[in-house]
Amino acid sequence: MKDRFRAVLLTRDGAAQKAEEVELGLGDLMDGDVVVAVSHSTVNYKDGLALTGRSPVVRKFPMIPGIDLAGTVETSSHPGFRPGDRVLLNGHGLSETHHGGYSEVARVKGDWLVKLPAAFSAAEAMAIGTAGYTAMLSVLALEDAHVAPGKGPVIVTGAAGGVGSVAVAILAKLGYRVIASTGRVEEEAYLKGLGASEIIPRTELSGEPRMLGKERWAGAVDSVGSRTLANVIASTQYGGAVAACGLAQGLDLPTSVAPFILRGVSLLGIESVYMPMPRRRQAWERLARDLDVEKLAAMTHTIGLGEVRQAAEDILAGKVRGRLVVDLAR
């Protein structure tokens, strides 16, 4: 185990937040019963918010950001893990109240860890990360709401982003006809390569919402929120369902009860940070089965620890396509 290791550290002086690469030791880490040698992390939209301070994600300073990590157990006093186990962690307060994945070593609670599925390398698990795991939770919720491929198409908003890219790939493999909504129409070939059947521009859904529109899809995975989510709900078919998992456009939801009481539409809230372990494991088992690793590779770009600060700016500016993996060895 390394006595000293690299990490990105967030500090705050008054209202000013600073992110810098530093060298730390085990004594700088928070409490936990498992020490992990972290090999990979990732950059999600939430990481962008945390690193830039544009949203109050971080609630304790100083903080090592990074809401995901994957690596190998170094030491453990938890009965479920022992040295050499390959593990991953999504959420559970990482980057909010507990040091996260942008560090070569992490000390965490074993109750938070998931054993890495044999189908994935650590890098592939982080290519999925919270974004892909959230996409899978959304698909599971649609299945629970009986939105089957034969019921009609499913729309994915923010389709070129992390959640959207994985959702498109999974839904297409499961046999759904996928409509991809994006503000980057130049990504049509990329999205069709993931399995999308139709591409519609973001502007078609981002304007003033109608309370009820033409029935166009049986289900949806929405990572955008606000007017886009309202318009998606308004055009959902009778008995359909919408999985809401993001807020890229905003936290508001300017809609009415009409789709819910006139068409029986269900709005399914997707929370990933504190998801109970049985559902968490189910999501990773399904990812191992239902996500094509070749399509995962096509949507993934790898960066080093020193590049995460710029990546945070890029992901919030909508410049990142698909998934960003952080290789701690770079």
* pLDDT surpassing 80 at residue 154: yes
Is the distance from CB of 52 to CB of 316 less than 8 angstroms? yes
Percent of the chain with pLDDT over 90: 96
Tell me which residue has tokens 């409490």: 31
* pLDDT surpassing 80 at residue 1: no
Residue 217's SS3 state is: strand
pLDDT band of residue 73 (cuts 50, 70, 90) is very high
**Domain 130-269 in the same topology as domain 4-116+299-327:** no
Residue 7 to residue 314: CA distance in whole angstroms: 20
Tell me if the bond preceding 62 is cis, omega within 30° of 0: yes
User: Residue 262: in which H helix or E strand, if any?
Assistant: helix 258-262
- The pLDDT of residue 18 is 94
Is the distance from CB of 115 to CB of 78 less than 8 angstroms? no
pLDDT band of residue 55 (cuts 50, 70, 90) is confident
Residue 34's SS3 state is: strand
- The pLDDT of residue 291 is 97
pTM metric for this prediction:
0.95
Q: What is the pLDDT of residues 251-293, one digit of tens each?
A: 999 999 999 999 999 999 999 999 999 999 999 999 999 999 9
Does CATH number 3.40.50.720 belong to domain 130-269?
yes
For 302, phi then psi, to 5°, come to -110, 135
Residue 228 to residue 232: CA distance in whole angstroms: 6
- The pLDDT of residue 62 is 97
Would you kindly state where each structural domain of the chain is located, as residue ranges?
Answer: 4-116+299-327, 130-269
Residue 232 to residue 267: CA distance in whole angstroms: 11
Residue 174 tokens, joined = 């499961």
- The pLDDT of residue 15 is 82
Nearest to 100 by CA among 23, 210, 34, 9: 9
* pLDDT surpassing 80 at residue 124: yes
The identity of residue 124, as a single letter, is E
Find the range with the poorest average confidence among 12-16, 193-197, 233-237, 283-287: 12-16
CATH node for 4-116+299-327 = 3.90.180.10
For 117, phi then psi, to 5°, come to -55, 140
pLDDT band of residue 209 (cuts 50, 70, 90) is very high
Residue 109 to residue 111: CA distance in whole angstroms: 5
